Amino acid sequence: MPTGATNKRKYTYVWVSTIILVFGIFAVYEITKKLKGGTIVEKDRMSIGSIQSDLGFILTNGKKRRVPTFSFLDQDSVLVSDKDYLGKVYVVEFFFTTCPTICPIMTQNLVELQDTFDEFEDFGVASFTINPRYDTPTILKKYAKKYGITDKDWHLMTGDQDEIYKLAQEGFYIAANEVDDAPGGFEHSGMFALVDKQGFIRSRYDENGNPLIYYRGTITEKQGVSKEGEPQQITMLKEDIKKLLLEEQ
C-alpha cells in the first residue's frame, strides 16, 4: 500500500478517535450535571441505570419497617388490603368523619395531594377510621363526596376497631385512642406516614441525620405556620412523594 494512503488512514483514525472521546466526555459531563442538580427524570433512566432517592427507611430492631398486613372494607364496600397498594406510593392517615378539630384540615391537605398527583396512576391514599362503629362504608362514601375525594386509589377504610388501633399503634406507631372527654370522643395523631412502592415506610432526614418519620398534616401550605409556631410540612411531603414516584426499587 502506498505511504500516502497509509498516512491518510492513520489521520482518519485519529480524527474518529478524537470525536468519540469528545462526545464521551460531554455525555459524562451532562449526566453528572443532572445528578448534581437533581433533574434526572424518567427519560434519563435508561442511560444512567436505576434511580434511588435520598429518603431514609425507618428501622425497627435493625430491620426496615414495612406496612403490616391489613384488610378492611372501603367506602365502596370493597375489601382492600396492603397488597392492593404494592407498586404505589401512598400516604397513610388515621381519622374519623365526625372529628371536630384536626381531621377536616388533614383531609383538605390530602385532597391537595390528590389534585397535585392526579396524573400519576401509582399514587394513592390510605385513610383508616378510628371510629368504625359509626363510620360505615355508607358514611365514608358521603364523607368522600363532601370533600371531593375522587382518586380511585384513595380508600377510606373501616373494620374491627381493635385491628385498626393495633395497625395504628403497633404498625405505624401513631396514636389512636377512644377518649370520652376528647373532642368527638377520640384522640389521635395528626401526622401522615409516607409509604414507598414496596410497602416500606420512608421519610427524609432531619438536620441531625435522623429520619423525620412522619409529616405534619394539620397545617396547610396556605396557613404556613401554626399558632404554636410549627411550620407546615405539606410542601415537604409533596417533594418526597415525587422522589418516590421516580424511584426504581
CA 9, CA 164: separation in Å to the nearest integer? 77
- Overall residue count recorded for the chain in this entry: 249
Sign of CA dihedral 166, 167, 173, 177: negative
The residues, any chain, with a CB within 8 Å of residue 20's CB and separated by 6 or more, are: none
**10 Å Cβ neighbour count for 229?**
6
Helix (H/G/I), strand (E/B), else coil: 236: helix
Q: Does the annotation place 188 within a ligand binding site?
A: yes
> Cβ(128)–Cβ(168) under 8 Å?
yes
Global pTM reads 0.79
Please tell me the predicted confidence (pLDDT) of residue 9.
46
Block mean pLDDT (10 aa), the chain, length 249: 47 42 39 37 34 88 95 98 98 98 98 98 98 98 98 98 97 94 94 98 93 96 96 98 90
pLDDT tens, residue by residue, 120-166: 999 999 999 999 999 999 999 999 999 999 999 999 999 999 999 99
* Per-residue confidence (pLDDT) for residue 53, from 0 to 100: 86
pLDDT at 48: 32
Distance CA 216, CA 231 (A): 9
The pLDDT, as a whole number, for residue 66 is 96
Do residues 82 and 69 touch, judged by C-beta distance below 8 A?
A: yes
pLDDT of residue 248: 76
Find out whether 99 is annotated in a ligand binding site: yes
Taking the C-alpha atoms of residue 109 and residue 237, their distance in angstroms, rounded to an integer, is 10
- Please tell me the predicted confidence (pLDDT) of residue 17: 44
Q: Flag whether 155 is marked binding.
A: no
